[in-house]
Structure 1
Amino acid sequence: MSGLGNKEIMAKNINKYMRKFDVDRKKLSSDLGISYTTVTDWIKGKTYPRIDKIEMLANYFGVSKSDLVEDSISSIETIYNQLIPDRQSKVYSFAQHQLDEQTRLQTNNKVIVMMPTKSTTVEIAGKLSAGGGTYNDKSCVETVEVGSTPSHYDLAFQVAGDSMYPTFEDGEVVFVKETNDVFNGQIGAVEINGEAFIKKMYLEDHKVRLVSLNTDVDENGDRLYPDFYSDDFDDLYIIGRVII
């Protein structure tokens, strides 16, 4: 057994099987009929599922309950842990891209487990880029089905890109409270020169620093999504605070 606690082990194993079967938080929440917030707490290791929910998860993924509650370290992890940080970053980046490619190739052969679903229709006000910027066409409003919604929100957007992974996934619907009061370190929805972003925000002097949560690096060790700034020369509009 590693030094991980029960909640962290459970979170690690749920995430492993979500990746294996190409299931995101939204789909898992909808398929299980469990709130998006509860599922998010499980996969982030904030809470531990009750025994009946563990059995439900095991049936959903087609594994035993012990596969979810017990920790196991594979040989590749053993090798990885012996590498220096610079080499670990390169191995992780390569493995992540291999997994992404595999997932795309398996799209038409996914294992789908049918469960009772509950859904809510919400209006999408546009897209928030988790990458290089997305034009915010406010006239293009569409509706989508989601597993659950916060009790109070003003706008819903769809994430485009993976720079905010693992907290926010490409295609995920996020909910925003319209306000100018987005404090340092909070996740905000912001429009810069007509392009909309979802980023962690910091006010530094008279500039806003926008930070991505995805820490993947390229083969040279450089971040795929480095921080960037907006200053007085930009047309900056804070849409609001993303509800987590």
Structure 2
Amino acid sequence: MAKHAPQYYENLNYFNNQLNHLMSVHGTKQVDLVNALDIPKTTINGYVKGTSLPNMGNLQKLADYFNTLKSDLDLRFKKDADEQIDISPVYNQLTDIRKHKVYSYAKQQLDEQNSNLNEHRSIYLVGSSAAGLPLDYGDLDAELIDLSNIPAKADKAIHIKGDSMEPKIANNSIIFYHEQPTLEIGEIGIFEINGSAVTCKKYYVDYESKKIVLKSINPKYEPMYFNGEQVRILGKVVF
């Protein structure tokens, strides 16, 4: 891809934001990456300042260092991961009898998928989360409950107390989240604060102050700023 193409700069900006975010969260300095990954200082400096994209080898080193996926760092891989599979070229080459078999199987899978959306399944309800100031939650004792319409990617459920995420998330509602250690900017997550409290907020980073910023949807609540070591991402809220 040409360096002056719009897509190149989109990829560059995405990688730079994600790298600086991970470095802030983990308290990582440039020298740490240079020493651990055997990548030249000038190269790391270019990544951090947003003047260059990594080659595939260095991208893999960075992903392994932060224990994340290449697609979480580099938009080029994210688009590959999100790309939809087009079966029409293969389907169109089949005989009519085989096309009928493929259609019947696909219809069966669709019916099963739609049925699963409405059936009950068990999921762990892990205590309560604040939607306001962080709420003390102890050890997040889990209770296995049966609910319907649980999102496919949900790993845990949690009870929301507070109105800071209204109108999207109502006070006293039960929401679901997918357990993961990272979030993209602007995503809604469940966060552990200082190892003793939990809250539900939108995730942002102030790169100038190197602070994690947790924002409410309800405008009456002010954003909360934390050092990276004060916050642990428990997961991404899924709807």
TM-score using structure 2 length: 0.45
Higher helix share: 2
TM-score (norm 1): 0.45
Larger Rg: 2
